[in-house]
């Protein structure tokens, strides 16, 4: 019995690369193998990653980058500005040796989100920050942050918007 337990623990330890660690997400309680985000100088971001961001939004100028491996998938988060000066962040994932934008994020005012999304929010919860996260398939996840226990962004609520229906999510969105 002890041998089985020891063997199981050894296999679990080997399942993650040496630079990955298991983290439990707060929203789902699900363990996620992650390397943690690491800052990357723009000059060291692979050209295909930069090309994916430029293809998604011509005129994008990257100003910061982070790299991460999550559940065996490689990601880059590229933050920067658009031609009009607005800020945007792209989450770019490697699949089959190719990089693609899986999420585009920008900060917006709560008053500008669709009325159905505002209605799906708990009326007692006033967000102090709203991130509009447009997924590659067109679904929009509104990430609402507000005060909790003295932390101005200590509470997070996610609402999925498909263009017609708003749904408050019980589990954190994948990307």
The per-residue pLDDT for range 48-96, each reduced to its tens digit, is 999 999 999 999 999 999 999 988 899 999 999 999 999 999 999 999 9
Q: Does any domain span residue 174?
A: no
The percentage of the chain sitting over the pLDDT mark of 70, rounded to a whole number, equals 79
Q: Does any domain span residue 112?
A: yes
pLDDT at 30 over 90: no
Q: How many domains does the chain have?
A: 1
For residue 29, the domain's CATH number is 3.10.450
Q: Does any domain span residue 173?
A: no
Of the candidates 104, 154, 149, the one whose C-alpha atom is nearest the C-alpha of residue 129 is 154
Helices (H), the chain: 2-15, 47-56, 115-120
> What global pTM score does this model have?
0.75
pLDDT at 29 over 50: no
Mean pLDDT check: name the lowest of 10-14, 130-134, 153-157, 164-168: 10-14
Q: Does any domain span residue 163?
A: yes
Domain that holds residue 153: 20-168
Give yes or no for a contact between 60 and 101, defined as CB atoms under 8 angstroms apart. Answer: no
**Separation between Cα atoms, residue 72 and residue 93, nearest integer Å:** 11
Q: Does any domain span residue 4?
A: no
Q: Does any domain span residue 26?
A: yes
Q: Does any domain span residue 77?
A: yes
């Amino acid at each position: 019995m002890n041998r089985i337990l020891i063997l199981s623990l050894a296999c679990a330890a080997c399942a993650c690369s040496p630079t990955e660690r298991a983290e439990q997400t707060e929203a789902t309680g699900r363990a996620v193998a992650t390397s943690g985000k690491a800052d990357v100088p723009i000059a060291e971001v692979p050209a295909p990653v930069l090309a994916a961001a430029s293809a998604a939004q011509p005129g994008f100028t990257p100003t910061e980058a982070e790299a991460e491996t999550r559940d065996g998938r490689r990601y880059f988060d590229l933050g920067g500005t658009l031609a009009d000066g607005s800020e945007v962040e792209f989450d770019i994932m490697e699949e089959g040796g190719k990089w693609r934008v899986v999420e585009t994020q920008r900060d917006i005012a709560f008053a500008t989100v669709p009325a159905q999304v505002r209605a799906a929010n708990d009326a007692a919860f006033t967000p102090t920050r709203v991130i509009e996260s447009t997924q590659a398939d067109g679904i929009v996840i509104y990430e609402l942050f507000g005060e909790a226990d003295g932390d101005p962004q200590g509470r997070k609520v996610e609402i999925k918007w498909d263009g017609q229906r708003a749904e408050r999510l019980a589990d954190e969105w994948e990307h």
